[in-house]
């Protein structure tokens, strides 16, 4: 049960993020929603790294966690993936916020309803 | 080992390293001199493109099914074992080399065109940096053999594209287009990351080859496999711009500078490539598969056919009513993407039905037509976007109602436009016809109704390009417009693509057997030749462009002869003085009725207003709703795959 809590958090983060992006009209909230989805995806990768039992993988370190008898270890690959994904996330979020800032300078746009010059 | 051999061995990495190196050195070179920077950018595209051509030639010589593998971090002579290595690999087989050729060709045309096109703007160093970065990302997406690496290239491509869409900072709209495209592709990218996480959690590897062997290895398809498949297909279809995930695509296409739009077509085709790889290689890996997996791939084939049909029809009908020239062409890009999805989807569905005679009879033809159409589309759509850029460059407006008479001064541009328009409408003897011919005939065999829809869409495509030609090049000239032809570098850029179109038009069978066939072999294994002796065989009929060309030239000579017998010169004060108008002139409240150039098909639109009204509501411009459509489609695809 305890080990499933991170997965529940992943589902909650992604669901809340998608809800915000689909139904909230404020542009800054939109950027926050995207960041939430990103956090959820990163947490998912990190959670996947923790394994127990014998597997044909390269563990970083082994220790007895959560009182189990099988050796528990953490895979290095998901951490590398998460690091990459965080860097990419910073780039996209910064670019998105820059676009929103310029849109506000040009048209005084702060909500999605006003950002619809291109349509049809 | 000779220099050439080691060059070929390392080519997959070098092809990506060159644009990356040139990209990040461009701002430095730009400090020295502007001419040097332009030459530097062209050199970057040229070197990497030339190496791509050499590599493709080597791959095609082997027949396409043998992949050139490059293992990052692997010493020379290291044997690569997917089980024990967690290294990033590049695989270049026939399909990847085919896509690389397209990207190299279009990028060369685009970067030469850019020299004059962006001359008046500031920030050109950043422009060329991002352009080269986008090229590297395009190559990366098609070469990579590692699914997480695919995600990285996906994001690099999105960021570079969005930066370029927002290049013209004086226009606020460009930020809007870029923001919408970025939101769309970021959410897609994050869902992709989530799917990659699931795959890693299940199989413990990220290598596509390993995953392909592991999925369904014990004869059963797990529910997580289906979820991942649904996400992958939807995400890559979004990148390709398939309906109903297309809404941000026209916004970004129409706001980007014209050469960038031409390259964005190839970037979206990298998404299409990923769709095909997911269906054919990742999930359809080995032929001797359990029934469960074949059923799943069969369902994927039908999903692609449905997405293709929607894209074709919705794209073309919305293009018909546009008044912004680039937006109109962007909707056509969506519509043409539908043809590729349709051709490859039909191929996949027939392939997975397990009937080998059907597959060699028309399934393989459909697949070849869909893949051939990718190259043709990149060429003619790239050319059309470049001509649209030339029109906007001279006319100073993108509104079809405000331009006119440009054909008098821009004869070369008009000629290039005609070449592109004939090709996109699939008029023989163009290259567009050659690939559409294969799609029509094989799809008609698969399902006559779908084949008929494919032809109808071509008709509507022709109609809307007649509208653009009429509005931009014909009619009286607007006196406020600048006169004269566009600068030479823009003409050279356009002629690179136009020349390729002509080669492809007259020698389609040669292109098919030398370039397309290895790509088809890489996906579906070897099969019968489709093009021999300069003739294409679809299984039902055949097509030879040179024969038609001969007939057309005889007709042309006859026409010139007949014309030379007639009276010379024009009749003074004759009909030639007045523009010809259809019907009787009518007045309403004392004003003559004027139909703007963008609305020449008002009768058609009015008759179909029950269709157009909801479409207008769907394309509301609200990014929330667009994301909703994307999430809903992903859900529907997953449900369809889970229960079919």
- With a cut of 70, say whether residue B515 has pLDDT above it: yes
Between CA B15 and CA B6 the distance in angstroms is 13
**What's the whole-number mean pLDDT along residues A73-98?**
90
Contact B114, B259 (CB under 8 A): yes
Q: What is the mean pLDDT of chain B?
A: 88
pLDDT band at B73 (very low <50, low <70, confident <90, very high): confident
Whether the pLDDT of residue B314 is over 90: the answer is yes
Are A84 and B251 a contacting pair at CB < 8 A? Answer: no
Give the A window 2-21 contacts with B, CB below 8 Å.
14, 18, 21
Specify the range with the lowest mean pLDDT, choosing from B237-246, B269-278, B483-492: B483-492
Contact between B311 and B246 (Cβ < 8 Å): yes
Q: Which domains does chain A have, with CATH numbers?
A: 2-51+74-117 (1.10.287.3510)
The more confidently predicted of residues B9 and B163 is B163
Residue with tokens 């970037």: B267
**CA B447/CA A26 separation, integer angstroms:** 47
Q: What is the dihedral of CA A23, A27, A30, A35, to 10 degrees?
A: -170
- CA A65 to chain B, closest CA, distance in angstroms equals 20
Are the CB atoms for B113 and B41 separated by under 8 Å?
no
| A contact test, residue of B175, B599, B620, B628 with most A CBs within 10 A | B175
Q: Which of A7-16, A91-100, B531-540 has the lowest mean pLDDT?
A: B531-540
Q: What is the pLDDT of residue B557?
A: 94
- Sequence ranges of the domains in chain B: 3-556+629-643
Give the pLDDT of residue B229: 93
Q: What was the pLDDT predicted at B285?
A: 66
Residue B474 pLDDT class (50, 70, 90 cuts): confident
Q: Which residue of B has its CA nearest to A25?
A: B624
The interface predicted TM-score (ipTM) is 0.91
Residues 6+ apart with CB under 8 A from B61: none
With a cut of 90, say whether residue B306 has pLDDT above it: yes
Lowest mean pLDDT among B71-80, B187-196, B219-228: B71-80
Contact criterion met (CB < 8 Å) for A41 and B187: no
User: A-B interface: how many C-beta pairs under 8 angstroms?
Assistant: 124
CA atoms within 13 A on the CB side of B394: 28
Question: Could you tell me the maximum CA-CA distance found in chain B, to the nearest angstrom?
Answer: 86
Helix (H) or strand (E) holding B220, with range, is none
Which residue in A has a C-alpha nearest to residue B319's C-alpha?
A120
* Category of B573 on φ-ψ map: left (φ > 0), alpha (ψ -120 to 50) or beta: left
Give the residue from B193, B251, B322, B334 with the most A CB atoms within 10 Å of its CB, the best one to mutate: B193
* Per-residue model confidence (pLDDT) at position A68: 55
Q: Please state the φ and ψ torsions of residue A91, each to the nearest 5 degrees.
A: -60, -50
Distance CA B45, CA B54 (A): 14
CA distance B597 to chain A (A): 18
Which pLDDT score, from 0 to 100, does residue B78 have?
57
**In this model, does residue B324 exceed pLDDT 50?**
yes
Contact between A95 and B159 using a beta-carbon 8 Å cutoff: yes
Helices (H), chain A: 5-23, 27-49, 76-107
The mean pLDDT of B349-362, rounded to a whole number, is: 82
Residues of B in contact with A56 (CB under 8 A): 83
Whether B272 has a pLDDT exceeding 70, the answer reads yes
Chain B partners of A44 at a C-beta cutoff of 8 Å? 194, 197
Dist CA B36 CA B593 (whole Å): 55
DSSP annotation of B83: T
Quick one: tokens of B100?
């690389």
Beta bridge partners of A84: none
CB contact (8 A) between residue B186 and residue A34: yes
**Residues B517, B93: Cα–Cα separation, whole Å:** 12
Nearest to B250 by CA among B396, B385, B104, B110: B385
| DSSP conformation letters of B478-510 | PTTS--SPPPHHHHHHHHHHHHHHHHHHH-HHH
Evaluated on CA atoms B308, B309, B312, B314, the torsion sign reads negative
* Dist CA B406 CA B404 (whole Å): 6
Instruction: Enter the tokens of residue B108.
Output: 């060369």
User: What are the backbone angles phi and psi of residue B82, rounded to the nearest 5°?
Assistant: -65, -20
Question: What is the C-alpha separation between A54 and A72, in angstroms, rounded?
Answer: 9
Range with the poorest average pLDDT among B19-33, B62-76, B506-520, B569-583 = B569-583
* Tens of pLDDT, residues A77-86: 888 899 999 9
Which of A22, A39, A103 is the best residue to mutate to test the B interface, defined by the most B CB atoms within 10 Å of its own CB?
A: A22
Q: What band does A56 get if pLDDT is binned at 50, 70 and 90?
A: very low
Mean pLDDT over A58-82 rounds to: 65
- Work out the average pLDDT over B602-608: 89
| pLDDT, greater one: B203 or B312 | B312
pLDDT score for B526: 79
At B456, phi and psi to the nearest 5? Answer: -60, -45
Q: Count Cβ neighbours within 10 Å for each residue of B257-291 and write b for 16 or more, e otherwise.
A: bbbbbbbbbbbbbbbbbbbbbbbbbbbbbeeebee
Query: Å from B74 to nearest chain A CA?
Result: 18
CA distance B519 to B59: 10
Q: Chain A residue with minimal CA distance to B255?
A: A118
Tell me how far apart the alpha carbons of residues B103 and B129 are, in angstroms, rounded to a whole number.
17
Q: Work out the average pLDDT over A32-42.
A: 95
Higher pLDDT, B503 or A71: B503
Q: Nearest residue on chain B to A80, judged by CA atoms?
A: B148
Dihedral, CA of residue B484, residue B489, residue B492 and residue B496, to nearest 10 = -130
Environment class of B32 (CB within 10 Å of its CB; exposed 0-12, middle 13-18, buried 19+): exposed
Query: Picking from B430-434, B475-479, B525-529, which range would have the lowest pLDDT averaged per residue?
Result: B475-479
Q: Measured between CB atoms, does A49 come within 8 Å of chain B?
A: no
Beta-bridge mates of residue B146: B207
* Token duo for residue B95: 């399909």
Secondary structure of residue A50 in the 3-state scheme: strand
Q: Identify which has the larger pLDDT, B539 or B97.
A: B97
Number of Cα atoms under 13 Å in the Cβ half of residue B14: 16
pLDDT band at residue B216 under the 50/70/90 scheme? confident
The predicted model gives B138-155 an average pLDDT of 94
Q: Which residues of A touch B251 (CB under 8 A)?
A: 118
A91 CA to chain B: closest CA distance, Å? Answer: 8
A62 pLDDT more than 60: no
Output the six-digit token pair for B611: 């269709």
In the predicted model, is pLDDT for residue B452 greater than 50?
yes
Q: Contact A99/B162, CB-based, under 8 Å?
A: yes
| DSSP letter assigned to residue B68 | E
The token pair at B215 is: 């999925």
Q: Tell me if residue B127 falls in helix, strand or coil.
A: helix
Minimum-distance CB partner of B620 among A34, A56, A116: A116
Which pair of structure tokens corresponds to residue B238?
């979004």
pLDDT in tens, B375-422: 999 999 999 999 999 999 988 888 888 887 888 888 999 999 999 999
Cα distance between residue B20 and residue B88, in whole Å: 18
What's the whole-model pTM score? 0.92
A36–B contact, CB cutoff 8 A: no
- Which pLDDT does position B575 carry in this prediction? 56
State mean pLDDT over A22-35. Answer: 94
Q: Is the dihedral of CA B188, B194, B199, B204 positive or negative?
A: positive
For chain A, first and last CA: distance in Å? 50
- Of A49-53, A99-103, B97-101, the poorest mean pLDDT is in A49-53
CB contact under 8 A, B251 and A118: yes
Nearest to B79 by CA among B71, B67, B90: B71
> What is the model's pLDDT at position B266?
95
Q: Cβ contact (<8 Å) for A88 and B155?
A: yes
Nearest chain A alpha carbon to B169: A102
Chain A hits for B86, Cβ within 8 Å: 58, 77
């Amino acid at each position: 049960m305890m080990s499933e809590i991170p997965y529940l958090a992943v589902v909650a983060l992604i669901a809340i993020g998608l809800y915000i992006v689909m139904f909230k009209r404020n542009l800054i909230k939109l950027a926050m929603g995207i960041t939430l989805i990103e956090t959820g995806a990163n947490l998912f990768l990190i959670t996947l790294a923790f394994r127990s039992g014998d597997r044909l993988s390269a563990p970083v370190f082994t220790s007895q966690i959560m009182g189990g008898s099988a050796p528990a270890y953490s895979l290095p690959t998901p951490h590398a993936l998460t690091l990459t994904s965080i860097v990419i996330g910073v780039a996209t979020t910064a670019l998105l916020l820059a676009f929103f800032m310029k849109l506000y300078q040009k048209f005084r746009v702060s909500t999605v309803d006003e950002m619809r010059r291109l349509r049809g | 080992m000779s220099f050439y051999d080691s060059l070929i061995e390392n080519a997959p990495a070098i092809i990506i390293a060159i644009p990356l190196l040139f990209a990040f050195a461009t701002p430095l070179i730009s400090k020295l001199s502007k001419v040097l920077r332009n030459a530097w950018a062209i050199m970057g595209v040229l070197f990497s493109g030339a190496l791509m051509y050499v590599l493709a030639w080597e791959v095609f010589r082997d027949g396409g099914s043998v992949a050139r593998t490059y293992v990052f971090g692997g010493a020379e002579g290291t044997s690569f074992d997917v089980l024990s290595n967690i290294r990033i690999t590049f695989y270049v087989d026939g399909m990847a080399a085919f896509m690389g050729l397209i990207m190299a060709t279009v990028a060369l045309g685009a970067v030469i065109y850019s020299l004059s096109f962006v001359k008046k703007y500031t920030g050109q160093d950043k422009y060329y940096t991002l352009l080269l970065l986008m090229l590297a990302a395009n190559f990366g997406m098609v070469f990579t053999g590692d699914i997480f690496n695919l995600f990285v290239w996906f994001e690099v491509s999105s960021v570079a594209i969005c930066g370029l869409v927002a290049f013209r900072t004086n226009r606020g709209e460009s930020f809007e287009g870029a923001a919408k495209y970025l939101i769309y592709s970021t959410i897609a990218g994050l869902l992709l990351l989530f799917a990659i996480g699931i795959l890693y959690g299940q199989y413990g590897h990220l290598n596509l080859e390993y995953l392909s062997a592991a999925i369904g290895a014990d004869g059963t398809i797990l529910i997580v496999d289906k979820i991942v498949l649904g996400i992958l297909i939807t995400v890559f279809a979004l990148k390709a711009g398939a309906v109903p995930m297309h809404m941000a695509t026209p916004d970004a296409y129409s706001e980007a500078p014209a050469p960038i739009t031409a390259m964005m077509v190839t970037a979206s085709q990298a998404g299409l490539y990923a769709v095909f790889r997911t269906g054919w290689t990742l999930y359809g890996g080995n032929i001797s598969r359990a029934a469960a997996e074949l059923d799943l791939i069969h369902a994927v084939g039908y999903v692609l056919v449905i997405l293709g049909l929607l894209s074709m029809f919705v794209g073309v009908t919305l293009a018909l009513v546009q008044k912004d020239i680039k937006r109109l062409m962007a909707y056509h890009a969506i519509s043409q993407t539908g043809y590729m999805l349709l051709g490859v989807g039909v191929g996949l569905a027939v392939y997975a039905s397990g009937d080998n005679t059907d597959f060699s009879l028309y399934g393989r033809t459909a697949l070849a037509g869909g893949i051939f159409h990718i190259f043709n589309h990149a060429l003619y759509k790239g050319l059309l976007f470049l001509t649209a850029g030339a029109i906007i460059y001279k006319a100073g407006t993108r509104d079809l109602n405000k331009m006119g008479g440009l054909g008098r001064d821009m004869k070369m541009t008009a000629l290039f436009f005609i070449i592109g328009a004939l090709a996109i409408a699939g008029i023989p003897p163009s290259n567009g016809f050659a690939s559409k011919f294969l799609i029509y005939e094989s799809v008609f065999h698969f399902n006559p109704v779908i084949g008929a829809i494919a032809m109808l869409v071509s008709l509507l495509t022709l109609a809307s390009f007649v509208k653009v030609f009429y509005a931009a090049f014909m009619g009286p000239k607007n006196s406020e417009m600048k006169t004269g032809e566009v600068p030479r570098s823009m003409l050279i850029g356009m002629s690179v693509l136009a020349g390729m179109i002509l080669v492809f038009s007259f020698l389609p069978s040669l292109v098919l057997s030398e370039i397309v066939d290895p790509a088809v072999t890489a996906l579906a294994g070897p099969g019968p030749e489709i093009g021999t002796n300069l003739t294409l065989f679809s299984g039902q009929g055949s097509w030879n462009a040179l024969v038609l060309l001969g007939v057309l030239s005889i007709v042309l000579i006859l026409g010139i002869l007949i014309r030379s017998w007639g009276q010379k010169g024009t009749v003074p004060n004759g009909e030639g003085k007045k523009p010809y108008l259809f019907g009787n002139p009518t007045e309403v409240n004392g004003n003559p009725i004027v139909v703007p150039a963008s609305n020449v098909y008002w009768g058609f639109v009015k008759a179909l207003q029950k269709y157009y009204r909801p479409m207008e509501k769907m394309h509301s411009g609200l990014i929330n709703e667009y994301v909703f459509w994307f999430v809903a489609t992903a859900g529907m695809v997953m449900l369809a795959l889970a229960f079919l």
